[in-house]
Amino acid sequence: MNANMMQQPLLISTLLNHAERHHGDQEIVSRRVEGDLHRQTYGDLAQRARRMANALVANGIRFGDRVATLAWNGHRHMELYYAVSGSGAVLHTLNPRLHPDQVVWIADHAEDQVLFFDLTFLPLVEAIASRVKTIKAFVAMTSRDHMPASSTIPNLLCYEDLIDAHSPEFTWPVFDENTASSLCYTSGTTGNPKGALYSHRSTVLHTYATALPDSFDCSSRDTILPVVPMFHVNAWGLPYLACMVGAKLVFPGPWLDGKSLHELFETEGVTMSAGVPTVWQGLLAHVEANDLKFSTMKRTVIGGSTCPPAMMDAFEDTYGVQVIHAWGMTELSPMGALGKLKGKHAGLDAVQRRALQAKQGRSPYGVDMKIVDEHGGELPRDGLTSGELMVRGPWVIAAYFKGEGGDPLAYFGDEGWFPTGDVATIDADGFMQITDRSKDVIKSGGEWIGSIDLENIAMAHPAVAMAACIGVAHPRWDERPLLVVAKKPGAEVTREELLAFYNGRIAKWWTPDDVAFVDSIPLGATGKMLKNQLRETFRDYRLPN
Ligand code: AMP
């Protein structure tokens, strides 16, 4: 029997309509590349997005066309989030931290029709403009008075000219909620990057789930500063979430150093933020060095790679900022799990609580997780047994864009689960803990050693800025762990001191065999350690006997 309920498609434009109607005077503050601090309201956002939608149509952008951006977090990027997807085109956020050759490859693969860019990326756009095959127009996201005096870029348009030239009257089209809305490519640490093509439906459902109290816990009383870039998995969905709940938004532009962020947190009264551990490291260093505090910040989401427990200690114990450890993937839109404690955990002591928070967390409604052995057999949820993490849900991809890489769900036969490539445990309460990436696992004498545990311990040493643990060939054990360490500026620590630091903290045989000191650990375009590059650098490394 069919129900009698309305069939209203879940469209991204409805988030904007809601924000305009119910939170029209709420503020969006942006530090812009032009150097100013810009303020507008959700009412302005909605009006400008409609003007831009008219501009897109006038410039020949049709339903389903890919519209690319190379841009920081800012109000114009937000306008494009809604103008492009709302009008039925597909927003493709390019990652400017990639090598220009990779940007060209991805833009061609996506068949982008137009590219919007922040002025910061003018040199990058000049380098790729004659190489990209499908882009017909380039739009500098600035006003006429900041347009480059001369440029080799063909068909270069000005964003504010487009806004001024087009009417704010535009009716958002209504279409099937399964229509593609945005496209993000994976970091591509192996092989070519692959595209995750999200739908309006998957995006709206993901937005509901991320706003929940056991997720980001956001409301109209929040002031949200997304540090995670809008070119990395849609800033974890925050541009959509902010419209859904009507929160004040603060965009940091390109200024992601500790000093700039802390200033903005304080002057704009930020209550909630989100980003990868490397950014928070810079922020904490600045706050510690200058004896500052956070007067309005209540919580921050930390994810993208493991949040070192030492970072949680600093945020929670020293500064009173709650850390929400989160796990996700481009392929999951990205939210998969969050480390929020349950009511029954209220009685835990500080050490037990921190151990639970260090896990990557439990899934919100909408994400189903399990761990499996090498044949696809489900493993127990006992918090001890580890296996490959499989996920499914309405905001998990079913295939990569253009079918690249075959059918990912057919990994262990056609079961409808997405293999994450992460190795994890799941406990009886549903708390998942990543112990490794399947390709980062160190296998010593047939037993797995979790490189993340080894890194977390090293990172807790006061002299260590960053630590990576990789497996290197060993004649007897096949592989043994090598700890690669970048020291904090001016800090001193010896190999022996670091190895002794593991005593009593870990099974003896897990202790790394050696320590290699480096100036810096190579990071990928999304802030993750490039372990494959380290493995290459240390391929012929000879461990001491
Ligand atoms: P990306 O698609 O670039 O967001 O990368 C997704 C991958 O990042 C996951 O498969 C994990 O390996 C890693 N990752 C994300 N969040 C975490 C976390 N909280 N702890 C450990 N690894 C994480």
CA of 389 to the centre of ligand 1 (A): 12
- Round the average pLDDT of the chain to a whole number and report it: 94
Q: How confident is the model at residue 189 (pLDDT cuts 50, 70, 90)?
A: very low
Work out whether strand 368-372 and strand 387-392 pair parallel, antiparallel, or are unpaired. Answer: antiparallel
In the residue annotation, 186 being an active-site residue is answered as: yes
- What is the structure's pLDDT at 439? 67
Structural domains of the chain ordered from first start: 12-323 (3.40.50.12780), 442-537 (3.30.300.30)
CA of 328 to the centre of ligand 1 (A): 6
- What is the structure's pLDDT at 223? 98
- Residues written for the chain: 545
Q: Give the pocket of ligand 1 (CB within 6 Å).
A: 186-187, 233, 303-306, 325-330, 334, 360, 420-422, 434, 437, 526
Q: Which residues contact 103 (CB under 8 A, 6 or more apart)?
A: 70, 94, 95, 96, 124, 128
- What is the structure's pLDDT at 126? 96
List the residue whose alpha carbon is closest to atom 4 of ligand 1: 329
pLDDT digits (tens, 9 = 90+) for 12-66: 999 999 999 999 999 999 999 999 999 999 999 999 999 999 999 999 999 999 9
Ligand 1 pocket test: pick from 233, 434, 439 the residue with the most ligand atoms within 8 Å of its Cβ.
Answer: 434
Q: Is the pTM of this model over 0.75?
A: yes
Positive or negative CA dihedral for 467, 468, 474, 477?
positive
Whether the CB-CB separation of 88 and 64 falls below 8 Å is answered with yes
- What is the structure's pLDDT at 538? 93
Rounded distance between C-alpha atoms, residue 95 and residue 230, angstroms:
9
CA nearest neighbour of 120 among 77, 163, 65: 77
- What is the structure's pLDDT at 415? 79
pLDDT digits (tens, 9 = 90+) for 77-128: 999 999 999 999 999 999 998 888 889 999 999 999 999 999 999 999 999 9
Q: How confident is the model at residue 530 (pLDDT cuts 50, 70, 90)?
A: confident
Whether the CB-CB separation of 32 and 146 falls below 8 Å is answered with no
CA of 238 to the centre of ligand 1 (A): 17
In the residue annotation, 443 being an active-site residue is answered as: yes
The CA distances from residue 479 to 424, 444, 469, in Å, are 20, 5, 12
Q: What's the token pair of residue 109?
A: 């693969």
* Per-residue pLDDT at 185 exceeds 60: yes
Whether the CB-CB separation of 87 and 64 falls below 8 Å is answered with no
pLDDT digits (tens, 9 = 90+) for 202-252: 999 999 999 999 999 999 999 999 999 999 999 999 999 999 999 999 999
* Per-residue pLDDT at 450 exceeds 80: no
pLDDT digits (tens, 9 = 90+) for 284-341: 999 999 999 999 999 999 998 888 889 999 999 999 999 999 999 999 999 999 999 9
Nearest atom (ligand 1) to Cα of 306: 20
Percentage of residues of the chain with pLDDT beyond 90: 81
Whether the CB-CB separation of 28 and 45 falls below 8 Å is answered with yes
List the residue whose alpha carbon is closest to atom 23 of ligand 1: 305
**DSSP per-residue codes, 50-98:** HHHHHHHHHTT--TT-EEEEE--SSHHHHHHHHHHHHTT-EEEE--TTS
Which candidate in 93, 142, 186, 210 is catalytic? Answer: 186
CA of 327 to the centre of ligand 1 (A): 6
Which candidate in 79, 331, 388, 455 is catalytic? Answer: 331
Rounded distance between C-alpha atoms, residue 67 and residue 89, angstroms:
7
Q: What's the token pair of residue 67?
A: 């519209």
Whether the CB-CB separation of 187 and 206 falls below 8 Å is answered with no
HSE-up (13 A, CA, CB side) for residue 328 = 34
Rounded distance between C-alpha atoms, residue 175 and residue 197, angstroms:
17
